[in-house]
Amino acid sequence: MTVPIFQRIKDYLSGEIAAGRWKAGELVPSEQALVRQFGVSRMTVNRAVRELTAENVLTRRQGAGTFVAPQKYQATLVEIRNIADEIRARGRVHRSSVRLLAPTPATPLLAAQFGLPGGAMLFHSVIVHFEDEVALQVEDRWVNPACAPAYLAQNFQAITPNEHLMAAAPLQGATYSIEALPAPPDIASMLTIEAGACCLVLRRRTTSQELVASVVTMWHPGALSQFTGTVG
């Protein structure tokens, strides 16, 4: 299955920003310019720009155009933090429990996110991260074998997937979304919270060497979690 054209436009725009060719506050090409560049309809370009605006990668100013979002958003979007390091920095003990680590055929929807044909083999891991024996995160990750061929051979009780991927597939770009969702029963069980309890859910898609390297969904118990960042 080919990548939808609106997603290719999104990848192009976010890739240019991640590479530093367009910086915070700079004007990006107009929708009409992107229509000419990609040879597609205005509606297709508009969808790509709307989604990047919703993801805080771009910001629109009425009558002025579309700009790269302020630095506070970029820092959140491109900074990849290792949960083990964050926990240790607080003086706490990190532990992880591997619930799944296996090659798995991709669904058509998931394959499309990687730009791969339906049924392509991906590496799938589900890992619960603990802080002082309190479940803090369920990390549900899909990995492109072309970017990290040794992924399944790693001991993820000794290192995190983040640590391995940062070495095996150096970060080129990333897109994020964050939302509040009720915990489904399987996630609730792993986090030892009530089914339906509020979770903060971070979804991240990373690229490396022009390939989608990883798609991950990270579930955090809402009562214990917050996302913070700094500007400047």
Cα–Cα dist 230/225, whole Å: 17
Q: Which CATH number fits domain 5-76: 1.10.10.10, 3.40.640.10, 3.40.50.2300, 1.10.260.40?
A: 1.10.10.10
pLDDT at 231 over 50: no
Each residue's pLDDT tens digit, 42-59: 999 999 999 998 877 888
pLDDT at residue number 229: 53
CB 205 within 8 A of CB 143: no
Q: Is 82 exposed, middle or buried (0-12, 13-18, 19+ CB in 10 A)?
A: middle
185-191 contacts, C-beta under 8 A, 24 or more apart: 187/138, 187/219, 190/99, 190/126, 190/128, 190/135, 190/138, 191/128, 191/135, 191/138, 191/219, 191/221
pLDDT at residue number 190: 96
Yes or no: domain 79-221 corresponds to CATH 3.40.1410.10: yes
Lowest mean pLDDT among 19-33, 111-125, 201-215: 19-33
Lowest mean pLDDT among 85-89, 183-187, 189-193, 224-228: 224-228
pLDDT at residue number 25: 82
CB 138 within 8 A of CB 128: yes
**pTM beyond 0.85:** no
Quickly tell me which residue has 């061929």 as its tokens: 149
pLDDT at residue number 30: 92
Positions of CATH 3.40.1410.10 in the chain: 79-221
Q: Please give the average per-residue pLDDT across 123-140, as a whole number.
A: 94
Q: How confident is the model at residue 126 (pLDDT cuts 50, 70, 90)?
A: very high
Quickly tell me which residue has 């700094």 as its tokens: 230
Cα–Cα dist 73/230, whole Å: 10
Residue-averaged pLDDT of the chain: 87
In the chain, what is the straight-line distance between the N-terminal and C-terminal CA atoms, in Å? 41
Positions of CATH 1.10.10.10 in the chain: 5-76
pLDDT at 228 over 60: no
Q: In terms of pLDDT, which residue wins out, 157 or 75?
A: 157
